[in-house]
Structure 1
Amino acid sequence: MAQTVLVVTGASGFVGSHVVKELLERGYNVVAVARGSKADHIQNSCDKYEGRLRVLKVTDLAKDDLSEGLQGASAVIHVATPIPGKASLDALIPDTKESCMNIIRQAEKAGVKSIVITGTLGSVINFLAPQEGLSNSTYNPMTEEEALASGNSVFVYGVAKKYAELAVWEWATAHPHFEVTIIYPPLIFGPYAPEFFPVSPQNHSSNQYLYGLLEPEGKISWSTFYVDVRDLAKAHVNALNSPPTADVGRKRVIIGSPYPVDGKRAIEILAENRPQWKSRLNKREPPKEISPTNMSLGKFSGDFARVEEVLGIKETEFVTFEQTILDMMDQYIVLEDEWKKQGLDVSVNVKFGGLATSELIGRVR
């Protein structure tokens, strides 16, 4: 019998939709958790999967009863989180923590044995001194009081995720039979999974930072590191069968592509492979800013041995930057045509050039 995996919220988001797709393609039964109309969007695809996909509609993960979805589940993949703008800064830290803890307590009570959580680099990196670097063992040293006093929503988001994680690890120490894996992605790019993610001109997710490549005077990315959304989904699903904590230690894993985001090279790739788009390719010089340690020159120089050990992906197996760019842009052109037929404004207006690297790091889902 196929395993049943509960994907907790985010099932209708950029990352969660790919996790759902990856699970279904591997033969898992999936309970996709989402809110409101997003849950309805996923529901439209259920018949296609002949009983292997169910939808659980929720309103508040910090309070909701998830027992209906958890019944018979062998694992939980927890993708979503409260984000600035949809939750007040004062509420963000307690809400993020309680969302995680409500899920993990109910999961364990229902007999679930493991959880995979999507983290953020904001809980790992030192925003105020990024040159100190980051690793699978570091934490953002900023306190709750410092984050709130800053008034910076990205700082608060990173600290909220950190304290939620610390609460999860404290709980896990007291429940050693329960496996926990936390994955930390940087910026995320790649094609969409539209049957689960309701992509629209107002809902591009982090891909919006590369769509400026198709606007002659659009804003485009500087060099930074990223991960293809398909590799990230694969990592989440692989983590369901990762080695036990007793063998490999606490499973905190930063993941990133071995290929850099390079705005200039991206334009060259599109010019070489899609000459019909020549007139709309960006003509601006990409910014020269560089990122913190382990992001310098735009290349992830993290621990690929650890990525392979816990998440089962070799450095040579990541989707190439060229494939990421071509796949997402090919899909965007198709979507753009559909949106135009609906009379929608397809222009992508992104305030990108003024964002600091630390601000970008928090915007991963």
Structure 2
Amino acid sequence: MTGGPLVLVTGAAGYVGSHLVNQLLTQGYPVRAAVRTPARADEVRRTVAAGGLDATHVEFAYADLGSDEGWADAVAGTRYVMHVASPFPADNPRDENEVIAPARDGALRVLRQARDAGCDRVVMTSSFAAVGYSPRPNHEWTEEDWTDPADDNTAYIRSKAIAERAAWDFATDAGLELSTVVPVGIFGPTLGTHLSTSVQIVQAMLTGESQRLPAQYFGVVDVRDVADAHVRAMTADAAAGERFLTVADGPAMTFGELAGMLGVTAPDDGRDLGERPRISNAKAKRLLGWHPRPVEETVRDTARSLNDLGLV
């Protein structure tokens, strides 16, 4: 290791978090991984080893987004905070605050500790859910756009907009440097057997277990490119106070088209979806020097990782 500044990664055992930890280690940054339990720490050790890296260069802090306990210790001594963790419900809950409150309050909890610890910058993972779920016909989506929390969307979609807005309000008032990375649908190789929702979709297509597919368009971005955007946003002077949409080049796609790239047939409901959304990645390219992989490579590598892990 090069003895670089210590970086805290929340959600380090997750899909994006695991790739981010490995990229930071590869670039010589010591990492402190914030996880909920020792079992999740073991998952991080396994995903670090899966990347051919030395897990002894990762230290662990135990903290939960729903509690103040542990966060001061997690942030102490770090220069940068990567706030990746966020709740993702399996179903839309009866009480939307079961999703909205943890996302908003968890982000503010981490930001507050980063401010108090004198961290140089926080990079927070948001979502296209915070950008593109309020209707705007014939529009190219950019970082200037926001989903209106008052619109009729799921609690998860509303939570992403509310949490990111709250983070920006706090950072502005606190004088804290913040950048947000705003990915579309994240695909790409998984480092462990605990699969993200998107990778589970690919797995179901490959095993023939997928039911009729929802009729919708979605952007695609590679998990490795999302992690790369976080690392670039961490240190680039131009990234301070900026949002960055991360999406691969090319048009949004459908689940049927995703299945076609995998060489499988999966039924959809056949509805005419109308105009394909256009999502700009120009800002990340311009300010971060970020360049995404082709969608075909991402989809291929997602399938290959599942096969290598014996999951298809």
Identify the residue that residue 29 of structure 2 maps to in structure 1.
28
CA distance in 1 between counterparts of 2:24 and 2:236 reads 15
Counterpart of 2:4? 2
Residue type at the aligned position of 1:68? D
AA aligned to 1:258 is D
Alignment partner for residue 49 of structure 1, among 44, 51, 54? 54
User: What is the root-mean-square deviation in Å for CA atoms of aligned residues?
Assistant: 3.1
SS in 1 for 2:132: coil
TM superposition shift of 1:104:
0.8
Gaps of 5+ in 2: none
CA distance in 1, matches of 2:274, 2:268: 18
1:183 maps to 181
Displacement of 1:49 in angstroms is 2.4
Tell me by how many angstroms 1:264 deviates. Answer: 6.6
One-letter amino acid of the counterpart of residue 282, structure 1: V
Contact 2:238–2:287 (CA under 8 A) maintained in structure 1: no
- The answer to whether the 8 A contact 1:215-1:282 is kept is no
- Summarize deviations over 1:89-127 as a string: whole Å, max 9, x none: 223323222111111111111120100111112222234
Contact 2:25 2:31 survives alignment (8 Å): yes
Contact 1:76 1:112 (C-alpha < 8 Å) held by counterparts: yes
What whole-Å deviation, never above 9, does each CA across 1:210-263 have from its counterpart, x for those lacking one?
Answer: 2344245745686532101000010011111122467xxx41121100045466
Give the TM-score, by structure 2 length: 0.82
Per-residue CA deviations over 1:316-343 (Å, capped at 9, x if unaligned) read: x32122221222212211222xx6xxxx
Judged with a 3 Å threshold, the aligned counterparts in structure 2 of structure 1 residues 103 and 85 are, in CA distance, closer, same or farther, namely: same
**C-alpha offsets along residues 11-30 of structure 1, whole Å, 9 cap, x if unaligned?**
11111111111111111000
Give me the whole-angstrom Cα distance separating, in 2, the residues matched to 1:74 and 1:142: 32
C-alpha distance in structure 1 between counterparts of 2:183 and 2:81, whole Å: 18
Equivalent position amino acid for 1:30 in 2: V
Give identity over the alignment, percent. Answer: 25
Structure 2 CA distance, aligned partners of 1:103 and 1:43? Answer: 23
> How far apart are the structure 2 equivalents of 1:264 and 1:71?
47
Instruction: Tell me which residue corresponds to 2:161.
Output: 162
Number of matched pairs = 300
Letter in 1 for 2:169: E
**Would you say the 8 A contact 2:34–2:61 is kept in 1?**
yes
**2:287 aligned partner:** 310
2:16 is paired with a residue whose SS is: helix
2:265 to 283, 299, 305: 283
- 1:344-355 pair list within 5 angstroms: none
Q: TM-score, normalised by structure 1?
A: 0.71
- Compute the displacement of 1:282 (Å): 2.0
The structure with the largest alpha-carbon Rg is 1
Contact 1:185 1:232 in 2 (8 A): yes
Distance change (3 Å), C-alpha of 1:291 and 1:210: farther
| 1:241-280 pair list within 5 angstroms | 241-244=235-238, 250-260=241-251, 261=253
2:99 is aligned with what amino acid?
L
Residues of 1 paired with 2:260 and 2:133: CA distance? 34
- For residues 7 and 319 of structure 1, the distance between their equivalents in structure 2, rounded to whole angstroms, comes to 24
Q: State the partner residue of 2:98.
A: 91
Cα displacement string for residues 139-166 of structure 1 (whole angstroms, at most 9, x for unaligned residues): 22233xx66xxxxxx6222222222222
Aligned to 1:327: 301
1:191 and 1:331 in contact (8 A); partners too: yes
Q: Decide which of 206, 215, 229 is 2:198's aligned counterpart.
A: 206
Contact 1:217 1:284 in 2 (8 A): no
Q: Secondary structure at the match of 1:210?
A: helix
Question: Quick one: which amino acid aligns to residue 334 of structure 1?
Answer: D
CA drift of 1:85 comes to 4.9
Tell me what 1:117 maps to.
Answer: 124
Query: Residue 156 of structure 1 aligns to which amino acid in structure 2?
Result: A
Give the distance between the partners of 2:119 and 2:136, measured in 1 at CA: 37
